[in-house]
Amino acid sequence: MSASLATARADFPALHQEINGNPLVFLDSAASAQQPRSVIDTVAHYQQADHANVHRGVHTLSHRATEAYEGARDRIQAFINAASRSEIVLTSGTTESVNLVAQSFCRSKISARDKILVTQLEHHSNFVPWQLVCEQTGAQLVVSPITDNGELDLDALQANMTDDVVLLAVGHVSNALGTINPLKKIIGWAKERDITVFVDGAQGVPHTSIDVQELGCDFYAFSGHKMFGPTGTGVLYGREALLEDMPPWQGGGDMILEVRLDGTVFNELPYKFEAGTPNISGVIGLGAAVDYLQAIGMDKVAAHEKELLAYLTSSLAAIEGIRLVGTAANKASVQSFMLDDIHPHDLGTILDHQGVAIRTGHHCAMPVMEHFGLPGTARASLGLYNNHDDVDRLVAAVEKARQVFA
């Protein structure tokens, strides 16, 4: 397919509408990104012409559905440069991917003597599943702190990598603050100490090219809907040797080779972890989203967003009464902020009234908000389709909010 950054905005039908009488400005892609026409059409075509269950029938439709579904897995493998398609487990999203690793990898492996290390920068979905498995096993959850500009305290993180840490769970990019963590450095430290590394890449994949082999992480998880694909789709990349050793985490159809009255032989990778009929149409749509991103080029996306984020941040900073939350040196796509003493929800309503969609609240990252002593923030987040006009409209809408509350 062909697609280009310069004309990308025209590819997204949802962006071309009015909200409350004003052209929509969509600055909430970190919560969920809009879908290009190619994804919408691919899903619609599948539903209209190719739908059947996968891996089951000998008939033509089942074959077509299986080809399209497995074809998406191959595209995803190439997109993140995994060594094998066996390493691409398709899930319902990042959240399921985290829970899978917590319950399958950790629960079978850890005891009360062990520790799981996370950071205060994490989204709840890279926090609560580890909390749960620690409660189940008696292991200790260690939370590594952040600094006042919203970066990981790397000295503390290194110090927290003790011999009894079994797994480190860390995000690639903070959803609340946009901080890009220095993954290669962190993974290097962890590997020196034999610590397994799980990376929550939900906010990384839509904004930068990923090479899991170069990163050297053990697991990398992400969601389809944050990368312009359908909701209810996600990926768990796991190193093959680790996945082979892990027990299944859900039982059901498709994850078995043979079921007898006295036991079951599990299917090979990656199907061992894919019980039940999967989200076939969603995954096929996710494959189309990967095609779209590859046609545009992730390096171009990253360069465009870097320039636009700098413009967003400087434009917001110039508004009287603005406090930027999250000022890390290396950031992607997100700027959180407060305006005077206006509660973020009030700001969100006033902006929506002018057609500007942002996220307000704790962004499923209450430990981050706790660090800053805030109940929540207003957050503008960028996707590849945003431009300078969007930022200018945001600034005008924020100025208007100051007038309403003056």
* Site residues (vs other proteins, CB under 8 A): 18, 20-21, 342-346, 349-350, 352-353, 360-362, 366, 375-376, 404-405
**Tokens linked to 16:** 């071309």
List beta partners, residue 379.
336, 359
Residues 6+ apart with CB under 8 A from 383: 26, 29, 33, 34, 206, 228, 333
Long-range contacts (CB closer than 8 Å, 24 or more residues apart) made by 263-269: 268/86, 269/86, 269/87, 269/89, 269/240, 269/243, 269/244
Choice between 189 and 405, CB closer to other proteins: 405
Task: Assess contact for 269 and 236: CB atoms under 8 A.
Answer: no
CB of 21 to other proteins, least distance (A): 3
Minimum Å gap between C-beta 370 and other proteins is 11
**Shortest Cβ distance from residue 27 to other proteins (Å)?**
17
DSSP secondary structure of 165-229: EEEEEEESB-TTT-BBP-HHHHHHHHHHTT-EEEEE-TTTTTTS---HHHHT-SEEEEESGGGTS
Task: Report the candidate in 339, 97, 335, 73 with the shortest Cα–Cα distance to residue 238.
Answer: 97
Q: Which is nearer to other proteins, 27 or 286 (CB)?
A: 27
Residue 196 to residue 191: CA distance in whole angstroms? 7
d(CA 35, CA 92): 17
Question: How close are the terminal C-alpha atoms of the chain, in Å?
Answer: 51
Report in angstroms how near the CB of residue 396 gets to other proteins at its nearest: 13
Beta bridge partners of 263: 260
Distances (CA, A) of 28 to 32, 75, 213, 318, 351: 7, 26, 30, 21, 12
Of 13 and 375, nearer to other proteins (C-beta) is: 375
- 281 vs 360 by CB, closer to other proteins: 360
Q: Is 364 a catalytic residue?
A: yes
Residues in the chain, total? 406
Of 331 and 362, CB closest to other proteins: 362
Q: Which of 212, 137, 156, 200 is nearest to 174 (CA)?
A: 200
Please state the closest distance from residue 350 (CB atom) to other proteins, in A.
Answer: 6
CB-wise, 79 or 127, nearer to other proteins? 127
Residue 292 CB, nearest distance to other proteins (Å)?
29
d(CA 269, CA 254): 11
Write the CB contacts of 350 (distance below 8 Å, at least 6 apart in sequence): 397, 400, 401, 404
List the one residue out of 15, 34, 13 whose CA is nearest residue 23.
Answer: 15
Asked, as a colleague might, if the bond just before 270 is cis with ω within 30 of 0, I would say yes
> Given the complex with other proteins, which of 21 and 263 has the nearer CB atom?
21
φ/ψ (deg, to 5) at 168: -110, 125
Nearer to other proteins, 18 or 262 (CB): 18
Min dist. Cβ of residue 369 to other proteins (A)? 8
- Least Å distance, CB 36 to other proteins, is 23
List active site positions: 364
